[in-house]
Amino acid sequence: MQQQMFDESFAQLSSHQEQYAEAIAAHAENITVAAAKLETYREQLLVELAQQASNQIKETEDRVYASVSQRVIRDVEKANTAFIDRLKKLLMFVSAAWGIGLLLLLVVFNLK
């Protein structure tokens, strides 16, 4: 008799567990589908974030390039101006030296 009660209780418990498992299976499927959707959404967000970051980097690179190139052009122009000024001074000194040298030669040849 105890065995029979035990078997009946076990059968009822087993039946309840099967019903519970069926109910959980539907929820588990819903959870699995929702998790897949969330994963897809996450991937889309990551792609969008990467695109936005790429766009911001490109914009920043363009601004930095423009700023740096302007600065480089300005510095090169200053350096070129300074170099030309030095060349002009050197040309004046060389011209003066040639002039003095020619005058000395004329004086030396006239004295002989």
Q: Where are the domains of the chain?
A: 1-83
- Specify the pTM: 0.46
Please determine, for residue 112, whether its predicted confidence score (pLDDT) is greater than 70. Answer: no
pLDDT digits (tens, 9 = 90+) for 3-42: 777 778 777 878 888 888 888 888 888 899 999 999 999 9
Greatest Cα pair distance, the chain, in angstroms, is 156
DSSP state of 93: H
Q: Which residues contact 59 (CB under 8 A, 6 or more apart)?
A: none
What is the distance between the alpha carbons of residues 85 and 77, in angstroms, rounded to a whole number?
Answer: 12
* Amino acid present at 84: I
State how far the Cα of 59 lies from the Cα of 65, in Å rounded to an integer.
Answer: 10
Give me Rg for the CA atoms of the chain: 47
What does the pLDDT look like over 50-97, one tens digit per residue? 999 999 999 999 888 888 999 999 999 999 999 999 999 999 999 999
